[in-house]
Structure 1
Amino acid sequence: MTPNTVGHVTITRDRVFDALSLTGAIALLIVSVVGPPENLAYTGVGIAVQVMAVGPLVFRRLAPLAVIWFTAATAIGMSITELVAPGTIIDLAHDHGTLWIPQAVTPFAVCGAMSHYRNQTAVWIPTGVLFILGLRPWELTGARIAQSLILVIVPAVIGMSIAARDRTYKVLMESARADERAKLAAEMHDVVTHRVSLMVLQAGGLEMTARDEETRRAAEELRANGCQALEELREVVAILREQGGESTGKTAQAPVPELSTLVSESTSVGVPVELVEEGAAGQASAVVRRTAHRIVQEALTNVRKHAPGAKVRVHVTYGPSDTRVSVRNSPPIGPGLSLAGSGSGLDNLRERVSMIGGTLDAGPSSEGGFHVSATLTEPVS
């Protein structure tokens, strides 16, 4: 089962269950308050309370603990009112066994809180309040025990089962994503590495056999770029394997290129770049530093392609918990090499940054240029 399939099944089940819960509460409300006048156990005030208590049920997924506490508070209010002024909520002349809790909403509030709130221990407190008020220990009867178990305890157990099911689905989704990343890593290693290695070997052969200096220099640059591409590819494969539970440890051992090299390369082709680095680069892990290098590299490549003549400022701040990267360029002074790009480079960067738990933002700046900003979070050791 793929992550998309698992996620779709989960969302569909949640929506169906939410609809059934609301429908069930309304149906139980009708059963509780509608009937022959001689059998109606709730007074007008009691019916109003029952209807009012159902409303917050629409927030059972967004604020489950608040909904169940509201239900418990309503039950407390009903019980105090009946003890102080008997007959205000319940028409005891017709029914002496009616529960002094919001019957329609209680099972769904309890189930929703147990299934959607992380701390189930906290949910048991209002659940216990509802159970005790439903029992009315000072007037305990067998029928009341059965009703309280059905309306409070059984929904709590069902909610706990749903929460366990959701945790299982989450584990399945993470496992499926890890498997996909591991397969992608293997495919990249087998196909892309093979082709790039051939390119590096051919460039090396051309460098050895070329007769003129310009051709040898071009071949050497091509070979060096190919070797760098292989290093970056190995790091991406290592990250993917780590996500798939197949850590090789190569990421931390791979050499991390300096940002000053990228600045020098851009300056040599006519793109002036100002580099500002704050903090000690050694604070950042190898994965974070290499990702920062890749962000700056892609940003400078885009400037050369789409913003000729623009000035660029690269600002990197290293910290113990995260590294912030900002690349901003001024407006171009001439037409670019292409009118528009596919945007795949930035999309790939976002995916790469997200794999280490970071965020990336890119878009036009207020000065008329373009900016790429990222926050790279240090991996948890």
Structure 2
Amino acid sequence: MTITRDRVFDAMSIAGAVALLIVSIVGPVENLAYTGIGIAIQVMAVGPLICRRIAPLAVIWFTAATAVGMTLAETIAPGTIIDLARDQGTLWIPQAVTPFAVCGAMTHYRSQTAVWIPTGLLFILALRPWDLNGARIATSLLLVIVPAVIGMSIAARDRMYKVLLASARADERAKLAAEMHDVVTHRVSLMVLQAGGLEMTARDAETRRAAEELRANGCQALEELREVVAILREQGGSGTGKMSQAPVPELSTLVSESESVGVPVELHEEGAVGQASAVVRRTAHRIVQEALTNVRKHAPGANVRVHVTYSRTDTKVSVRNSAPVGPGLAMAGSGSGLNNLRERVGMIGGTLDAGPSTEGGFHVSATLTEPTS
């Protein structure tokens, strides 16, 4: 359900309550038994409907508390709320608000069992079991029970919509994993084989060394691609369970690679690495890898500090670099790497923040939540 549609429904609910209130006030006098105080209470009770989505339980409890106050006032001082001379079964509840408060709470609050408590209280106060009559029974059912059933139906429909949406996303991820495996893996494998052939046939040592590096990087790319495919397949419900068996890359390897090309990196790790799950450790590795790649591309000569804190509940990753020393080799980027990182971190329920730092450099920070199952 879109935000626009939600706002339309909220506006319609408030408009409906106001319309019902106006009709009850300007209608025939025999249908209106509220005194001036009673009308003021009815008008006052409409306001909280603005919060029916963000605080549905509070709204329905406010409505129930208003009904309790009306009942106590009429019991202690008859005629305070209701004009007894024209009372023909008027309900001692905020009639204009009750159906919308009940329906909204049943629709939006996470626990319908908790909503039934104030709903039942409203129904009892509207029904007045100590003074039953047929008209009041019918009106009570129409204003309390029917909206409750409608709200439960809407909530069930929304839950079904979310399940179908999640299923569609899972199918899309599974298709994407299959496409990556069939196309990208095939092309990278050809590159690795060609590099291996070049290494064997090259006549000079420099070419052989470059070919070996190319082949090694291609093999590493294949391994990382398999990990991404495994994550997508698990998210798509078609995981094989083999991803956790692959060795988790060490962050120290990334640091050594960066230092070998002239990027000084300071690595600090706190807590036991074994406390983090394999999925979280791989994601942390990918974050540091992307951050260091961006430093090499966009901040030549900058110093980098990597800080990782492991715990049983989450792992915090922070990568900060100083301002670039020389812009000569800096390259422009599309930002897709960070966007992909956010997607990957979001897939495991984590959060990622990236942007310029106050020191003139750049920072990438993430909190990776451990899976609950």
Same fold (TM over 0.5): yes
**In 2 relative to 1, CA 305–336 (structure 1 residues): closer, same or farther, beyond 3 Å?**
farther
**In 2 relative to 1, CA 40–317 (structure 1 residues): closer, same or farther, beyond 3 Å?**
closer
**In 2 relative to 1, CA 286–330 (structure 1 residues): closer, same or farther, beyond 3 Å?**
same
Cα distance in 1 for residues equivalent to 2:92 and 2:19? 19
Q: Does 1:66 align with 2:58?
A: yes
Taking only the aligned residue pairs, the percentage that are identical comes to 86
Which one is further off, 144-153 or 29-38? 29-38
Q: Which residue of structure 2 aligns with residue 380 of structure 1?
A: 372
Cα distance in 2 for residues equivalent to 1:96 and 1:36? 12
What CA deviation, in whole Å up to 9, does each residue of 1:45-66 have, x standing for no partner? 1111111111111111111111
SS in 2 for 1:118: coil
Q: Which residue of structure 2 aligns with residue 108 of structure 1?
A: 100
Cα distance in 1 for residues equivalent to 2:100 and 2:170? 35
Q: Does 1:47 align with 2:47?
A: no
SS in 2 for 1:256: coil
Q: Which residue of structure 2 aligns with residue 149 of structure 1?
A: 141
What CA deviation, in whole Å up to 9, does each residue of 1:123-156 have, x standing for no partner? 1111111111111122111111111111111111
Q: Which residue of structure 2 aligns with residue 366 of structure 1?
A: 358
**In 2 relative to 1, CA 219–127 (structure 1 residues): closer, same or farther, beyond 3 Å?**
same
Cα distance in 1 for residues equivalent to 2:305 and 2:12? 57
TM-score (structure 1 length as normaliser): 0.94
What CA deviation, in whole Å up to 9, does each residue of 1:92-125 have, x standing for no partner? 1122311111110011111111111111111111
Q: Which amino acid aligns with 2:231?
A: I
Q: Does 1:328 align with 2:320?
A: yes
Cα distance in 1 for residues equivalent to 2:350 and 2:71? 52
Q: Which amino acid aligns with 2:302?
A: A
Which one is further off, 29-38 or 287-296? 29-38
Q: Does 1:83 align with 2:75?
A: yes
**In 2 relative to 1, CA 213–186 (structure 1 residues): closer, same or farther, beyond 3 Å?**
same
Q: Which amino acid aligns with 1:165?
A: R
Q: Which residue of structure 1 aligns with residue 249 of structure 2?
A: 257
Cα distance in 2 for residues equivalent to 1:338 and 1:143? 80
Which one is further off, 278-287 or 77-86? 278-287
1:273 and 1:311 in contact (8 A); partners too: yes
Q: Which residue of structure 1 aligns with residue 303 of structure 2?
A: 311
Shift of 1:299: 1.0
1:305 and 1:336 in contact (8 A); partners too: no
TM-score (structure 2 length as normaliser): 0.96
1:1-381 equivalences in 2 (<5 Å):
7-8=1-2, 11=3, 13-37=5-29, 40-381=32-373
**In 2 relative to 1, CA 265–39 (structure 1 residues): closer, same or farther, beyond 3 Å?**
closer
SS in 2 for 1:216: helix
2:297 and 2:331 in contact (8 A); partners too: no
1:279 and 1:319 in contact (8 A); partners too: yes
Shift of 1:370: 1.1
Which one is further off, 352-361 or 211-220? 352-361
1:307 and 1:336 in contact (8 A); partners too: no
1:49 and 1:102 in contact (8 A); partners too: yes
Cα distance in 1 for residues equivalent to 2:93 and 2:142? 13
Q: Which amino acid aligns with 2:193?
A: L
Gaps of 5+ in 2: none
Shift of 1:337: 2.7
1:46 and 1:90 in contact (8 A); partners too: yes
SS in 1 for 2:346: helix
Which one is further off, 215-224 or 78-87? 78-87
RMSD (Å) for aligned C-alpha atoms: 1.5
Cα distance in 2 for residues equivalent to 1:89 and 1:377? 55
Cα distance in 1 for residues equivalent to 2:130 and 2:40? 26
Cα distance in 1 for residues equivalent to 2:42 and 2:106? 22
Cα distance in 1 for residues equivalent to 2:266 and 2:331? 26
SS in 1 for 2:327: coil
Shift of 1:90: 1.1
1:278 and 1:318 in contact (8 A); partners too: yes
Q: Which amino acid aligns with 2:228?
A: V
**In 2 relative to 1, CA 263–241 (structure 1 residues): closer, same or farther, beyond 3 Å?**
same
What CA deviation, in whole Å up to 9, does each residue of 1:333-352 have, x standing for no partner? 10153453211111111111
SS in 2 for 1:324: strand
Gaps of 5+ in 1: 1-6
Cα distance in 2 for residues equivalent to 1:34 and 1:42? 12
SS in 2 for 1:148: helix
Cα distance in 1 for residues equivalent to 2:279 and 2:219? 18
Shift of 1:218: 0.7
Shift of 1:40: 3.5
SS in 2 for 1:325: strand
Cα distance in 1 for residues equivalent to 2:54 and 2:78? 36
